[in-house]
């Protein structure tokens, strides 16, 4: 069972669509963050989506990823509580 969802980048209009950097609190370009960052990450500055550079730094996972509070709250709203009926 694969728990990691494969992201189809062709569904996005923006080059950065689906990149986890969009909701990482360490990303200096992130718009939905507060003060929860550990350090400033400049991965997007060196990506072709940011300034038409050669490198494709689009990420689906990163060891420095830290989800922003705003995005975490958005994701939590999508959770559904499943209550099972008693087992006999």
23-50 pLDDT, tens digit each: 888 888 887 766 777 888 888 887 876 7
The DSSP-derived string for the chain is: ---SPPP-GGG-SSTTTT-GGGGBTTBTT-SS--S--SS-B-GGGGSHHHH--S-----S--TT--B-HHHHHHHHHT-----PPPP-
Model-wide pTM > 0.85: no
Residue 87 has pLDDT above 50, yes or no: yes
Q: Where are the domains of the chain?
A: 17-78
64-81 pLDDT, tens digit each: 888 888 888 888 888 877
What is the per-residue pLDDT for 3? Answer: 42
């Amino acid at each position: 069972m694969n728990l990691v969802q494969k992201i189809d980048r062709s569904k996005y209009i923006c080059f950065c669509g689906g990149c986890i950097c969009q909701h990482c609190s360490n990303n200096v370009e992130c718009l939905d963050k507060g003060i929860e960052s550990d350090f400033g990450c400049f991965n997007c500055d060196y990506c072709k989506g940011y300034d038409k550079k050669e490198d494709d730094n689009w990420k689906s996972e990163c060891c420095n990823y830290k989800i922003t509070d705003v995005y975490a709250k958005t994701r939590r709203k999508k959770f559904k509580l499943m209550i099972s009926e008693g087992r006999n």
